[in-house]
Structure 1
Amino acid sequence: MSRRNVLAAKRWRLEMRSRILHGMRLFFVERGFVEVQTPVRTPAPAPERHIDAVRSEDRYLQTSPELYMKRLLAAGYDKIFQICPVFRRGERGRRHHPEFTLLEWYRLGADYEALKADCRDLLQAVCAYVGRFPRFSYGVHLLSVLPPWEHWTVRDIFLERAGWDPFQSYDADRFTEDLVEKIEPALGFPAPAFLSDYPPEEAALARLRRHRDVTVAERFELYWAGIELANGFSELTDRREQENRFQECLARRREEGRDVYPWPQRFLESLDDLEAAAGIALGVDRLVMLLTDASSMDEVTAFEPEHEP
């Protein structure tokens, strides 16, 4: 198929993508959120062990607008959202591109439970706006945006489906392998599902709390049809604790021979002015995949990342 025909074949999905983005913006604006725009290039990305930033001269392309958006929260902005491109080195697959689109939103004075409510309302509103309410087909599955949505804790689902407790004997490699192979593929059928309360080692920027006999991170991920759509958490606002976590992460990256990023001093200083807050990132391309019955991100983006203009 010629390049012209490839682009032409994508037209209806790209038009649907446009409607989905418009529906997202309507949802947040109608609820009093302010749309913001932050720098795409940053001198200091958030240190995360498994996310590698792309260099751009003396800066890095953003892996997420998170640090800038939390600085806005610290300045008193109470409800903000942004839809923007982000960049991560070495990510390529059906559900991964080195350049993709994130929707991020943040609430001041809230926790991760408020974000879960936002997710339910947002997906229902967007599905209705683009004609995928209350049910639609995705491959061989009939999906529904209607409740009930499943709620799992990480501990419970690992005990049931992987046969071990990651809080009692945490193993990073085993955790990732079992999550990807034994847990994620079955989550979110027919309605979306929440997976909540992660081990502390799996949450670089999330608040911790005691739950029963263990410490958990107030983090959740949203799944639909086995696809991870969103990652949200109650924000860690303790500056000293955040500094310690960043130092540990940078030390691990140094040991593994990965880039060690500059220290995000301005962000850390802003935590002195930030009280309770919550934030979340949702993968726009993956949601478009679901709502257009696409099997890969290539089908819902006009140009694949490696293509020349």
Structure 2
Amino acid sequence: MLGEKRLKLRAAFFDSVRLFFKNKGFLEVDTPVRQPVVIPEANIVPIEADGEYLQASPELCMKRLLARGLTNIFQICPCFRKNEIGTLHMEEFRMLEWYRRGARYHALMDDCEQLLRAVDKDLTATGIGCGPGGDNFFAETDLDMPFLRITVAQAFDAYSRVPLEQAVREGSFDEVLVEDVEPKLGGGRPVFLYDYPVELGSLARRKDEEPHLVERFELYINGIELANGFTELTDEREQRTRFHDEIEAIKQGRNVTTALPERFLQDLEHLDSAAGIALGLDRLLMVAVNGRGLKEVVPFTPQDLT
């Protein structure tokens, strides 16, 4: 369990995040945590709750709000993913998601840079300090310089033991990314890894000039993935096809029945263009205080409850 000092720092951190988006004119929204259907994603196992599911992300509902006419929105909420347990993972965690209607993924990268600098400034101004390991937030990480931007293809060429095309073809992309590439990303300076193969972006828009890629990126500091964003796929037919592909992949790994989110697909027809991103707030706070695990920044760990 966290002590009073760290709890006050966590509260100041959440205040800073909210203030950042409100100052930029974003509307804070809230959506249901328990839902009858979830996004079909082969690499995420949802947690059941009385015949429905606890959200792994508020994405479906937030994009439905965009489709009904809202523009820039954000939300801070609990999310749940089964069997995600470890130093950097918990089955329940706090997510920040924000969306820009009429924008592309580069606008979200700019938001990330500005957000981290604002959080660093606000936390420093509290005078609380980040505790053991020093009082400087984001120690040994340069937030003043523009964040680096490297394509997935460039990263695999530089760090991977196998070519990108082979990793995608053999289904080992995630394994190679985690073992070979991620540890090399964001040391001393945050980096955006962008332009993923279309097979790795089921909800992301294809690049016009390179349709085998999607406009997706992830943000890394010190080898830790903090955020996943993309230009939204708004073509209902293509999204439906990709969901079917994900469902087939899910069936190969788990004996479950996965339904399509039909209400979401219907509303998608009314959304022309948008960009959205999910950022793990517990992880970001952990990185800000130079921590080594989520247990240093969450009020209760699962072990504290048993």
Distance in 2 between residues matched to 1:169 and 1:254, nearest whole Å = 22
Task: Work out which of the residue numbers 215, 225, 230 in structure 1 matches 2:212.
Answer: 215
CA distance in 2, matches of 1:172, 1:81: 37
Partner of 1:27: 20
- Identify the residue that residue 279 of structure 1 maps to in structure 2: 276
SS of 2:7 mapped into structure 1: helix
How many angstroms does 1:294 deviate by?
A: 1.6
2:294 aligns with 297
Q: What amino acid does structure 2 have at the position aligned with 1:79? A: N
- In the alignment, the residues of structure 1 paired with residue 21 and residue 195 of structure 2 have an alpha-carbon distance, to the nearest angstrom, of 26
Alignment map for 1:72-221 (pairs within 5 Å): 72-131=65-124, 136=136, 142-167=140-165, 170-171=168-169, 173-211=171-209, 215-221=212-218
Name the CA distance, whole Å, in 1 between partners of 2:190 and 2:209: 24
* 1:14 maps to which of 7, 11, 19: 7
2:54 counterpart of 1:61: yes
Partner Cα separation in structure 2 for residue 51 and residue 228 of structure 1? 16
1:184-221 Cα shifts (integer Å, max 9, x gaps): 11211212100000011111100012546x62110000
Per the alignment, residue 237 of structure 2 pairs with: 240
For each residue in 1:91-135, what CA deviation from the matched residue of structure 2 results, as whole angstroms up to 9, or x when unmatched?
0000000000000000000010110010111111111111189x9
Normalising to structure 2: TM-score of the pair? 0.92
Contact 1:99 1:305 in 2 (8 A): no
Tell me the distance in 1 between the aligned counterparts of 2:32 and 2:95.
14
* Residue 306 to residue 39, structure 1, CA distance change in 2 (3 Å): farther
Give the SS at the match of 1:131: helix
1:161 deviates by 1.2
> 1:147 Cα deviation (Å)?
1.2
Which whole-Å CA distance do the structure 1 matches of 2:17 and 2:34 have between them? Answer: 24
* Residue 40, structure 1, aligned to residue 33, structure 2: yes
CA distance in 2 between partners of 1:274 and 1:120 (Å)? 27
Q: SS at 2:65's partner residue?
A: helix
Aligned with 1:240: secondary structure? helix
Deviation track 1:131-176 (CA, whole Å, cap 9, x = no partner) reads: 189x9366xx612211132111001110121154324662364211
Structure 1 length-normalised TM: 0.91
Q: Which runs of 5+ in 2 are unaligned?
A: 127-134
Q: 2-side partners of 1:165 and 1:210: how far apart?
A: 24
Aligned residues: 298
Name whichever of 12-21 and 272-281 sits farther off.
Answer: 12-21
**C-alpha deviations, 1:247-272, integer Å up to 9, x for none?**
11111211222433222010000011
Contact 1:86–1:100 (8 Å) recurs in 2 = yes
Q: Secondary structure at the match of 2:31?
A: coil
Q: Is the 8 A contact 2:100 2:276 kept in 1?
A: yes
Q: Give, in angstroms, the shift of residue 53 of structure 1.
A: 0.5
Q: Which amino acid aligns with 1:12?
A: K
* Contact 1:205–1:242 (Cα < 8 Å) also in 2: yes
Give the match for residue 253 of structure 2. Answer: 256
Structure 1: distance between partners of 2:295 and 2:165: 37
Relative to structure 1, is the Cα distance of residues 296 and 70 closer, same or farther in structure 2, using a 3 angstrom cutoff?
same
Question: Which residue matches 2:263?
Answer: 266
Contact 1:43 1:262 in 2 (8 A): no
